[in-house]
A and B are shown apart, each in its own frame.
Chain A
């Protein structure tokens, strides 16, 4: 049972928006994490540094979180390794095929009123909801 965390979730959201806006201002780029990471795998010279640094910043945020509020990084309830591998493969492939993830479509795309993101965001949320229902309730996986 999760507690509803309106305040910390809202403040966290504001910071995520600020970080995304920072990428927009500093790099003139859309801060979709899947796009930033996927672009890194293209190994285009001159386009690597800012992507790598952004990802280093993301990890550093996690390090700070682990030191200050380790409960916020609790891995309780995660499925076993084969499930996690499957989930990672799907997230990596799907986010690149669909041109975005929760940040690229869900925050930046909706924020700039992109029609593609208005289609993609409800699509992935609905699919994720159905998968949670099937895996957690019908199959009872833990």
Chain B
């Protein structure tokens, strides 16, 4: 639990330092036809440079069913349409979810407006999902073929499927 708090703090400080909490900088990164500021590419590169080795080392040492979600995840319309909708919102406001929360710490009203609307959008997604259960690919994937998936493993898989990526 303390680990989650510390991780959030380090993540948040990283967001501030990186420039992700300045919507103008995010817009400048996305504005390749204007005065393009490529800085934020370094953010992604730096983050992956730390995350990827930790993930792959951990995966080598332990069997984490919950981490292997990508094996059985479909590449479907939800993924692409969701990414398009998310990208449209990101380009419009210059905020994505992490920097939105971190910007709350600065007390700017824009951050509160954005985060409130974002949470409303997430609630909207829950309603949308509930309204069409037959389309619910997210929770109807079969358990992985590998026999390591115990009931608990399958459960954690289903739970983590609800998470990002």
Contact = CB atoms under 8 A, between A and B. Distances in A.
Interface of A: 1-6, 8-39, 41-42, 47, 49-51, 53-66, 69-70, 72-79, 81, 83-117, 119-121, 123-133, 135-137
Interface residues of B, number: 114
B150 interface: no
A139 B89 CA distance: 16
A13 B106 contact: no
A14 B44 CA distance: 9
Contacts of A28: 64, 66-67
B70 A19 contact: no
Contact of B3 (A26, A32, A61, A83): A26
20 contacts: A8-B19, A20-B51, A24-B58, A25-B54, A25-B58, A58-B12, A61-B105, A65-B21, A78-B94, A89-B89, A90-B92, A92-B97, A94-B82, A95-B164, A98-B83, A101-B96, A112-B70, A128-B90, A136-B27, A137-B34
Interface of B: 1-25, 27-28, 30-35, 37-40, 42-52, 54-56, 58-59, 64, 66-67, 69-70, 73, 75, 78-98, 100-108, 110-111, 113-126, 128, 138, 159-160, 162-165
